[in-house]
Amino acid sequence: MAMKKNPIFFSIAALGIALSLEAGAQSDLKKLWDSDPRILPAANNLRNVVATAGLAVVAKEVCSVGDPEPWVAVVGAVEARYLTCVKEDPNWAALKIGLEDEEENARQSGVATDPPMLMFIRAMKARGSRALDDKEAFCGNTPWKLMLDPAHATPEEIAEDKRIAPDGEIEKALEVMLRVRSLGQETSWVNRPCDKEFWPSGFELGK
């Protein structure tokens, strides 16, 4: 069965070289970044969440394993959250800092220019390029079947992966994938007030 197209799903090959945002706008955003203590923690989670979702989509494209739709749904939920928050408090626009090279690319691709999508473009380019450079290692060295559907990883599959790669910390990796995937499944957090935090309460994905 053909996969239903998602409006924010696009291939690695469609990503190109971008231009910068105007210097004045970037200066204003930088001031917000430096003065609002909520922005940096939110940006760190944004980078890690979207990079994880991007990696899952790359694995589908390069290794033909897994279903990208739950991971694309994560990016869609984070996009919706950004739009909710920036409407409530314009300071959240500072999450765009550092994504200058992706904005024109997004415009040319006909997709949103908000930070989650720009970060998704960056993740797809970086991780996709590395995966294509060494497809055999990328596809063979990670248990993608487990990682991309963590809720259905069986104890036997986990035990087998630990036998093959005892230093791989498979349980920790599966927990990360579960937490990220849940953002696109239970989306009530998207419309919660943004005055204190961007992410669900207590959500932190690490460095």
> The pTM is what?
0.81
Reading the block at residue 182, the tokens are 């849940």
Domain boundary assignment for the chain = 26-191
Q: How many CB atoms lie within 10 A of CB 192?
A: 16
Amino acid at 100: E
**Sign of the four-CA dihedral 54, 19, 98, 75:** negative
Q: What is the pLDDT along the chain (207 residues), one digit of tens a residue?
A: 444 445 444 444 444 333 333 445 667 888 888 889 999 999 999 999 999 999 999 999 999 998 999 999 999 999 999 999 999 999 999 999 888 878 877 888 787 889 999 999 888 888 888 888 989 999 988 899 999 999 999 999 999 888 887 777 889 999 999 999 999 999 999 999 999 999 998 898 864
CA 182 – CA 180 distance, rounded (Å): 5
Residue type, 138: F
Work out whether the CA dihedral 121, 3, 144, 135 comes out positive or negative: negative
